[in-house]
Amino acid sequence: MNPAHGSGMERSALASRLAVVQGTYWVASGIWPIVHLTSFEAVTGPKQAGWLVKTVGALIAAVGTTLAVAGARRRVTGEIALLGAASAAALGGAGGWYAARGRIRRIYLADAALEALTVAGWGMALRRARADARPAASAGGWSAARVIPVERREAVPEP
């Protein structure tokens, strides 16, 4: 089920900006270990499998590219919003969980906080888009004064 079906997400300026910001951050974060693993490990801690770090980085960059392009083109569909929110929740949740337990460096707690803000941002974008998509009471198909469907208004004689 499309979480933004009928929500107006495609017209949401907030969703487009959020997709560009998250996408840009994810592209930079994803390519960093590919371009310079040594500096990445200096900040995030040593890794046992460089190939795995680079593979995850490539996947993060791929998701980021998708988000950034969709946002720049103002084509943020419900599926794109779901990709942004769900992937931020997954990455932030894993980083926060393991950093809080001392398995990985505490720097991942900062990223987890950013990812949590991103998830909240997607929730806000969805709520705003749905609110913007709701028709006004007078234009929504019902007569506000008499609570009669607009289609039937002509058939009801005026007093």
Segment-wise mean pLDDT, segments of 10 residues, the chain, 159 residues: 58 94 99 98 97 99 99 96 98 98 98 98 93 64 46 56
Which residue ranges make up each domain of the chain? 9-155
Q: Rounded CA gap, 29 and 51, in Å? A: 16
Strand partners, 149: 142
**pTM, 2 dp:** 0.79
pLDDT at 1: 43
pLDDT at 142: 46
Q: Rounded CA gap, 72 and 32, in Å? A: 22
* 3-class DSSP state of 142: strand
